[in-house]
Structure 1
Amino acid sequence: MTRPSTTRPAAVAGTFYPADPAELTTMIDTLLDAASPTSATPDATPDATPDATPDAVAYVVPHAGYRWSGPTAAHVYRELRDRAEPFTRAVVLGPAHHVALRGAAVPTVAAWAGPIGPIGIDLEGARQLTDRGLAVADDRPHAPEHSIEVQVPLLLRVRVRTMLPVLVGPGDPAAVAALLDVVAGPDTIVLCSTDLSHYLTDEEARRRDAATAAAIEDLAPQRIGTGDACGRHPLRGLLTWARRRAPRVERLALATSADTGGPRDRVVGYPAFRLSA
């Protein structure tokens, strides 16, 4: 009898990001080095140490191919890299693009593979969610999905070794908030993986994404509609949770694929936001 695999193989290595470990490592480090460092206070000195990095609770980060959204995502991961002490775990919310899903799904495997090493899966956290009826245990929607996988090499490069991946489909944002209440904590960073508008002109996208960015900054999930973000369901849930847990929202970057060389008549929008208490 063949035993079921305990590791999810990478689904989009070689398409969304390089499959070669050396090339991938160099690409990530170059992106992070190019991102402007931030500090916890507006009057921080230029020689501020990593101990002055912002005390974030959660981030909103894009999930397109690194060629396109990598410079935007790098603003988030530069902050994570610059921390004196890395987070021990990331809870990553993302949408399911390929498999129909209602509510939330967590995996059952112990690790996800990748070119620069596997990342461990927090199965205890997953069990807590399934025991409370806040998620189902199902590897099927995770298997082909890129929205969380593209975060894995970046997390590993900023010294995060354990992840709880949660795919979120249509449902009550309050249920996602309840889920985060269970698994968020002082040694955990929450990431909401989403792109913004899709396939508008650059001018139209920037106008629409500006309204979505304002909704994020105002913690107004009800203002994020269909077409505003492919990850609108996890994003609405994150903002609902953040009203109580991380009400300070700061924009790190807002861009479109035109900024990284894509055609201007059909772009995708990319967000980077920090949420803190």
Structure 2
Amino acid sequence: MRIKQSAVAGMFYPQSPDELAVMVSQLLADNQHQGCMPVAIMVPHAGLVYSGGVAAGAYSRIRPYLPMISRVVLMGPAHRVPLLGMAVMSADLWRTPLGTIRLDHQLSSVLTQEERVVINDVAHAREHCLEVQLPFLQLLDGGYLVLPVLVGQTPVNEVAALIGRILMEPETLIIISSDLSHFHEYDEAMAIDRATLQQINQLKPEIQPQQACGCYALNGWLAYAAEQGLQAEFIDYCNSGDTAGDRNRVVGYSSYAFY
């Protein structure tokens, strides 16, 4: 079995299994949100001390529906490696301090054969945006397979088409991983992020990289959601100046459910 090792344990989340389990369990307990079952959620991907509470609000939404989810597809940006198109990894398992989680190698192979994605282990090797979602998925323990997809510079229609193909598979949840504006002063960041949240509320796939680092995955999802007549439900927002950082150079975080 090919195993993808953790790249950011001890940096973006605790290395200690016990400490990590307690932290994520407390985040979920402190950020409970209820509602109907989402087709997709949007979550941030900073260190858990910065954005974990915002992410937990979205994850708590899926907790009642875990028996109805057999596959989770993670989609987010490639921060460390320039990427055109969309990339999966070759691994069968992904390890964090909480153990291993099974990857959907079968669907990954199908999408690769259909030339919708490529295998690019280099892009995935040190990427954090999808890995920081795994502790939440492991603590929820839904018994699902996970398919990680990095979305580089890709036309909106291609991302939307991939999502449509993926959602042909039953019992599938999409998770879009994206932070919002980066490194502005607090009030300026709030203004930029308010405009971005309004675009998400209206399902407008016109978000730029300076508004959201995961804009390519997010715009593809918004285009698909608008075409399917889905609704966006705002769950939470904050920035790093509200949690564990100063207010001179903040990063914005938001979570949504789509149904």
With normalisation by structure 2, the TM-score equals 0.96
Write the deviation string for residues 235-259 of structure 1: whole angstroms up to 9, x where unpaired.
1111111113362101000111111
Structure 1 partner of 2:195:
211
Structure 1: distance between partners of 2:38 and 2:229: 8
2:6 to 1, 4, 10: 10
Structure 1 partner of 2:180:
196
Q: Which structure would you say has the larger Rg?
A: 1
Write the deviation string for residues 103-133 of structure 1: whole angstroms up to 9, x where unpaired.
0001111011111111111011111211111
Paired residue secondary structure (2:121):
coil
Deviation at 1:83, TM superposition (A): 2.9
2:5 maps to a residue whose letter is P
Is the 2:76–2:217 contact (alpha carbons within 8 Å) kept by the matching residues of 1?
yes
Please show how residues 109-188 of structure 1 align to structure 2 within 5 Å: 109-160=91-142, 161-184=144-167, 185-188=169-172
Structure 1 runs of 4+ aligned residues shifted over 6 Å read none
2:122 maps to a residue whose letter is R
In structure 1, stretches of 5+ residues that fail to align are 40-53
Paired residue secondary structure (1:150):
helix
Deviation at 1:86, TM superposition (A): 5.1
2:257 corresponds to 1:249: no
Structure 1: distance between partners of 2:156 and 2:232: 18
Structure 2: distance between partners of 1:169 and 1:218: 23
User: What is the count of residue pairs matched by the alignment?
Assistant: 257
Structure 1: distance between partners of 2:62 and 2:139: 10
1:176 maps to a residue whose letter is V
Deviation at 1:19, TM superposition (A): 1.0
Structure 2 partner of 1:44:
none
Q: Closer, same or farther in 2 for the Cα pair 1:246/1:10, shift >3 Å?
A: farther
Deviation at 1:84, TM superposition (A): 6.0
Deviation at 1:227, TM superposition (A): 0.5
Is the 1:194–1:229 contact (alpha carbons within 8 Å) kept by the matching residues of 2?
yes
User: RMSD between aligned alpha carbons?
Assistant: 1.3
Paired residue secondary structure (1:258):
coil
Structure 1 partner of 2:204:
220
Structure 1 partner of 2:220:
237
Q: Taking every aligned residue pair, what percent have the same amino acid on both sides?
A: 39
Structure 2 partner of 1:35:
31
Deviation at 1:260, TM superposition (A): 0.7
1:220 maps to a residue whose letter is K
Structure 1: distance between partners of 2:66 and 2:108: 28
Paired residue secondary structure (2:102):
strand
Paired residue secondary structure (1:210):
helix
Structure 2: distance between partners of 1:197 and 1:204: 10
